[in-house]
Structure 1
Amino acid sequence: MHQSSSVDELANRLREELDRYSPGGKLPSSRALVERFRVSPVTVSRALAQLTAEGLVVTRPGAGAFRARPRAPLPRTGDTSWQEVALSADGAADLVPRTVDASGVTVCLAAPPPGVIEFNGGYPHPSLQPERAMAAALSRAGRRPGAWGRPPLDGLPELREWFARGIGDTVTAADVLISAGGQSALTTALRALAPPGAPVLVESPTYPGMLAIARAAGLRPVPVPVDADGVRPALLSDAFRATGARVFVCQPLFQNPTGSVLAADRRPEVLRIAREAGAFVVEDDFVRRLVHEDAGPLPRPLAADDADGVVVHVSSLTKATSPSLRVGALAARGPVLERLRAIQVVDTFFVPRPLQEAALELVGSPAWPRHLRRLSAELRARRDAMTAGLRLRLPGLALPHIPSGGYHLWLRLPDGTDEARLHAAALRAGVAFTPGRPYFSAEPPAVHIRLSFAAVASTDEIAEGLRRLRTACDEALGGSGAAETVRQTPAGL
């Protein structure tokens, strides 16, 4: 075996040879394995660690590695049917029954089967993540004085200051709490602002993860339609008046899933309407750092123009870095900040300090602006490749808006399309997309799908994925009128 052999290859060889040793028998020393397989000591160490994690090998400091003894038989499976009664009775007295349904979230988190092109991903492909910069930042962070100690409950002051500067000059570090990513921040915000059973106004369509948070907390999501310019102020005002809601959750910049940006003339209207209703606006500013290369100047966050403490601002580093760099921020003014702080401390204590230190190291390094510039260019190229491919292969899928930020496109399917049937056909053809139904808190006005162009490896993979999607449309729609619409109608791009 050559020096370049992988850890997996060595682990496989050792796994095949374990039968030579009796349970508890000692394996050759690390030095002997290095010499025999001609690999580095690090490779040997990692291969043994892999077998240890699988329960096949036991290591003893100073003594070596040994074949693990057989595990005891698993105990008899008990009867858990009683839990059906206990769990159903749990919310019997709730005004709005709590429903814990993660299906709308897991469709964006779960990796598709091998060979399936990932148009359903919720995060940029590893090739778009700053892996070397993050590794270097984590290494430096681990050596910082006090890096493994307890951080301030609100978060590291320097990191809070960095997030505050990104929101606007009207926000200070004292207004910011560090959170474990955007999802955690949204959970904290909804728990702080609305009691169980209360209505909460949401954009329609909107992010399924936020709907899941609301329903798990026993809240009642009430849809407010959006158009190409964001939420419609007249309908927002009507919804506040009709429901008595005290919270509105929105994504003013590159909204998920439509990609719309709240128009300049609507921004002060949204704040005014919420203030008059005595309500909070939760601003989920989730993809500000995923702007495309051809975008013009971005509007400021709503929080930057809010003098009265109406806005609770949520932002995160995760989308622009890695799913595992779960570092975000909550920003608010007034008494609500103390409530947010109290709930976050009760739920999570604090965000691990090494992760906060690593985030500081990353955003303060020369690699950070280089990464953002490269990401901006790559996202534009992939968006353009997907829109061009749709024109070519699926011209009948309506794409009313091409965003200049974010990582996906939102398409309307022809009337009469069976969303579930198309989704199944796409998986058989080797491509996964995100169905549109989970994005609506009530009955959807039409059938939609969301296609991610950032979770794939290249523009070539985008072209292949669209070819497979065309195959799926041909299979699922057959000779129907919807099929002819997909093939022949101009795309409206």
Structure 2
Amino acid sequence: MNDDNRAAEIAELLRRRAETMAVGDRLPGVRQLSRELAASAATVSAALARLTALGLVRAEPGRGTFVAGRRAQPEPDYSWQSQALGRARVDPRRAGRLGAHGGAEDIQLSWGYTAAELQPTEALRAQASRAARSARAWSMVPVAGLPDLRRVLAADYDAEPGDVLVVPGGQQALVFVLRTLAEPGDTVLVESPSYPGAVLAAQAAGLELAAVPADLDGIRPDLLADALERTRARVVYLQPGCANPTGAVLSPERRAEVLALAAEHGAFVVEDDWARHLGLDGPTPLPLLTEDPHGHVVSIATLTKVVAPGLRIAAVVARGPAGERLRTARIAEDMCVPALLQETALGLLTAPAWPRHLKVLRARLTERRDAMIDHVREHGPHLRLTHPPRGGIHLWVRVPEGVDTAALAGAAQAAGVLVGDGAHYFVDEPPAPYVRLSYSAASEPQIAEGVRRLAGLVAERAVSSA
């Protein structure tokens, strides 16, 4: 048993002893405890330090260690906070489902990250270990990010390193970009259906939301033009490649129309490029930013989807005064993304293991996608896939009219299967009932069983609603 484990064991023994004593009673001294417990003085001191940190004992130099007690507190009254806080900006139902992890026994068909066996764990460990030994691992780095990392991230966007800003994850990047480009009360246009996190980000920034319908070719430019004219919005949120949840890819014709509309209305297009490395039937289209020389497009790229949820590294790519404003505003958010994380990301992106990881990841995801498609089709007509996605990690599956998707998601969770309630992917009322199924976090046997259970629940509800 190592010293840490022994200290933890002794801390637990002393905690139980303290519970039998009165507040203010003195514990035996370190020497006495060392003899009694057959442990070194250093180990006993470490155990007492743990209890002190937990507030269970207090040390008085020169006198000893005493059982601590908490002052009796009055029954709390938080009613005043409701008035002080005002109306909540963020939809708690959408936020709760977005952050739902589930337990080890659950079949995870809603998680937007990859399973542990699909992550480059060994490469990450090697790079993190190497980064931890770096002289700058624990030092301050430029607010915009390590110059070398910015240079690597800029390559996919034909951008200058100075146009790149390193931020701690794609979700924070969304909140930060929307809050910086728009003023509270402004309207942001969001393709619908869309990523719920974008809705939450807009709400957190105090922005109003207006939905613009999308189809299999992405956002509809005719309706986008109407919305821009009607709302005078200056920010549009899009996922041009492998959109979450539908898998839609913005067509070449529509890409040109979107950029023309942005130029005509003086608007920014926030390009969520989360699926940059997740093209399964071929590469994803080049970022929209590469076709925009005038700074209308601000792109967000993230590594968490293709590496691991804990590698909270994302990039914001923006040109012109908007880029300068974003880089200046970062100082108000935090001083920098930790150097250790940036060094780890840089090492991974420049290692021979990186292209190998992407090749293996895409192959494994393709297998899981195809398996899920087969199982969904097997259970038709209760589950209906409108189109197979060419990339990404989700299927957008329609269920029969009349099925309450919120109740269905709740019943599925009770049955040990986590799925995405399709209603959460629409800004306004959904036009039809859908669920989102993710194939990145479950094994093929889990996918088969999860889809089977879900189909049974849908069949029950389809009959009762007929």
Q: Please, what TM-score do these two structures have when normalized by structure 1?
A: 0.83
SS of equivalent to 2:252:
coil
Instruction: Give the residue type in structure 1 aligned to 2:397.
Output: L
In the other structure, the counterpart of 1:472 is 457
Q: Establish whether residue 290 from structure 1 lines up as the match of residue 246 from structure 2.
A: no
In the other structure, the counterpart of 1:348 is 334
In the other structure, the counterpart of 1:161 is 151
CA deviations on 1:186-206 (whole Å, 9 max, x unpaired) are 112111211111111110011
Structure 1 CA distance, aligned partners of 2:367 and 2:47? 42
Instruction: Give the residue type in structure 1 aligned to 2:308.
Output: S
Query: How far apart are 1:113 and its partner, in Å?
Result: 3.8
Q: Establish whether residue 240 from structure 1 lines up as the match of residue 228 from structure 2.
A: yes
Query: Do the aligned residues in 2 keep the contact of 1:11 with 1:50 (CA within 8 Å)?
Result: no
Q: Establish whether residue 149 from structure 1 lines up as the match of residue 139 from structure 2.
A: yes
Structure 1 CA distance, aligned partners of 2:407 and 2:243? 27
One of 193, 196, 209 as aligned partner of 1:221: 209
Distance 1:20 1:379, change over 3 A: same
Q: Establish whether residue 78 from structure 1 lines up as the match of residue 66 from structure 2.
A: no
SS of equivalent to 1:444:
coil
SS of equivalent to 1:271:
helix
SS of equivalent to 2:83:
helix
In the other structure, the counterpart of 2:438 is 452
Instruction: Give the residue type in structure 2 aligned to 1:139.
Output: S
Structure 1 CA distance, aligned partners of 2:67 and 2:276? 53
One of 240, 243, 250 as aligned partner of 1:252: 240
Query: How far apart are 1:105 and its partner, in Å?
Result: 3.6
In the other structure, the counterpart of 1:491 is none
Instruction: Give the residue type in structure 2 aligned to 1:330.
Output: V
CA deviations on 1:272-302 (whole Å, 9 max, x unpaired) are 111111111110101212232xx12331100
One of 252, 257, 269 as aligned partner of 1:269: 257
Structure 2 CA distance, aligned partners of 1:109 and 1:411? 21
Query: How far apart are 1:345 and its partner, in Å?
Result: 1.4
Distance 1:149 1:18, change over 3 A: closer
In the other structure, the counterpart of 1:128 is 118
Query: How far apart are 1:432 and its partner, in Å?
Result: 1.3
Task: Give % identity.
Answer: 43
Q: Establish whether residue 231 from structure 1 lines up as the match of residue 229 from structure 2.
A: no
Structure 1 CA distance, aligned partners of 2:96 and 2:48? 29
Gaps spanning 5+ residues in structure 1: where? 35-43, 61-65, 92-97, 482-493
Gaps spanning 5+ residues in structure 2: where? 22-26
Q: Establish whether residue 435 from structure 1 lines up as the match of residue 421 from structure 2.
A: yes
Instruction: Give the residue type in structure 2 aligned to 1:174.
Output: G
Q: Establish whether residue 461 from structure 1 lines up as the match of residue 446 from structure 2.
A: yes
Q: How many residues align?
A: 448
Structure 2 CA distance, aligned partners of 1:452 and 1:370? 23
Instruction: Give the residue type in structure 2 aligned to 1:282.
Output: V
Distance 1:57 1:75, change over 3 A: closer
SS of equivalent to 1:320:
coil
Distance 1:20 1:313, change over 3 A: same
Distance 1:391 1:199, change over 3 A: same
Distance 1:53 1:354, change over 3 A: farther
In the other structure, the counterpart of 1:206 is 194
Query: How far apart are 1:82 and its partner, in Å?
Result: 0.8
Query: Do the aligned residues in 2 keep the contact of 1:164 with 1:173 (CA within 8 Å)?
Result: yes
Query: How far apart are 1:336 and its partner, in Å?
Result: 0.8
Distance 1:350 1:20, change over 3 A: closer
Distance 1:350 1:238, change over 3 A: same
CA deviations on 1:296-350 (whole Å, 9 max, x unpaired) are 2331100111111110111111111111111111111111111111222112222
Distance 1:82 1:321, change over 3 A: same
Distance 1:445 1:364, change over 3 A: same
Q: Please, what TM-score do these two structures have when normalized by structure 2?
A: 0.87
In the other structure, the counterpart of 1:103 is 93
Distance 1:424 1:173, change over 3 A: same
One of 122, 128, 131 as aligned partner of 1:138: 128
